[in-house]
Structures are given as structure tokens and as C-alpha cells.
Amino acid sequence: MDDGAGELEGRSQDSAWRIFLVFLRLGLTSFGGPVAHLGFFRTEFVDRRRWLREEHYADIVALSQFLPGPASC
């Protein structure tokens, strides 16, 4: 019985480094305000890497807009 534990373990070994590199690239190449960044992040996280589903990304964006801070519109 393969429960996927080996695959998950292999993915988690380099996940912190991979996440760091993805955010570093986004931080160095993204321009514009917070609304522009949301488009770059959605493309990277939902379409390209498939780390999130569209519904989860929308929930995260809604939560971030609800919380006070510089990105709240």
C-alpha cells in the first residue's frame, strides 16, 4: 500500500529552499503595488506551480484584504 509518504518526504526536504527561491525571484522581478503583485503571485502559485487551488488563493486574498495593513484596499 502506497500512502504517498515517500513522495511527501522527498518534497519536504527541499521545500523551504524552493519556497525561498520562488519568493526571492518574485520579490526581485515584481513591480507595481500590492494589487499588481497579486496577479504575479496567482500566476506563480495557482497556474505554474499548482501549490494552491483557485478557491484557496481567493480565500487567502480575501483574508489579506480583510486584515488591516498597507495592502488592504
Euclidean distance between the first and the last CA atom of the chain, given in angstroms as a whole number: 49
Q: What is the pLDDT of residue 34?
A: 80
Note the pLDDT tens digit of each residue in 11-69. Answer: 565 688 999 999 999 999 988 888 888 999 999 999 999 999 999 999 999 988 888 87
What is the torsional sign of CA 62, 67, 71, 72? positive
CB 26 within 8 A of CB 41: yes
As a whole number of angstroms, the distance between CA 48 and CA 19 comes to 13
pTM over 0.85: no
Place 1 in a pLDDT band, splitting at 50, 70 and 90.
Answer: very low
